[in-house]
Amino acid sequence: MVRSKNASPTWSDVKAALLDFDRAGLRGLVQDLYTASKDNQAFLHARLGLGHDQLRPFKASISKWISPDLMKGQSISASNAKKAIADYKKAIGRPHGMAELSIFYCEEAFGFLESCSINDESYVAALIRMYRRSIEFVSRLPPAERTTYLERLDKLRSRGRNVGWAVEEEFNSLWHAVALDEHQGE
């Protein structure tokens, strides 16, 4: 196959180039990708089901970005925190993992808001959007597997009153729109 040197390579180009690799060469390529970044390592561990806590690196990334140590000059990035969840989804995307990571994001965000009292509308809006996603993920789980997640979501809902920005009202609206009160007893 003739590859164009002018156009940006695409996935088709990569697939074609991979055909030239033997088993050892392909293993070497994956090893190089593995050692290139912690994100690649987390992806491969999750995809291959390795380790006892496959969510740990994704949670660490969420914490780093949504609840940074401001005294050390670390910056807040809701988009980077959300990227950790998106990376997990690409790696394996198990429903329980998606529910866990999205609720963890909300818990970390609340911890940060309660400790720092930041007044950032976009941060709070991102929190509300993630709470909505959490409810969606939990709602897709079999009813018998929702209890722990629903308890955590309910606790987050009550923590909303301490934040302002009408977070409690927004969380209550999202909670009741899905009728989660009715599901708690299941």
Residue 60's contacts (CB-CB under 8 Å, 6 or more residues apart) are none
Q: 113 and 25, same structural domain?
A: no
DSSP code string of 59-87? HHHHHHHHS--GGGTPPP-HHHHHHHHHH
Are 65 and 40 part of one and the same domain?
Answer: no
pLDDT for 109 equals 95
pTM (two decimals): 0.82
**Residue 6 forms part of a structural domain:** no
On whether both 65 and 91 belong to a single domain, the answer is: yes
At residue 170, the pLDDT reads 93
Write out pLDDT tens, residues 26-72: 888 888 888 898 888 888 888 888 888 889 999 999 999 999 988 89
* Residues 46 and 75 reside in one and the same domain: no
Whether residues 83 and 151 share a domain: the answer is yes
The string of pLDDT tens digits covering residues 98-118 is: 999 999 999 999 999 988 878
Question: How many domains does the chain divide into?
Answer: 2
* Residue 6: band (very low, low, confident or very high) from pLDDT cuts 50, 70, 90: low
Residue 183, pLDDT > 60, answer: no
Which conformational region is residue 21 in: left (phi greater than 0), alpha (psi within -120 to 50 degrees), or beta? beta
Q: Structural domain of residue 58, as residue ranges?
A: 53-183
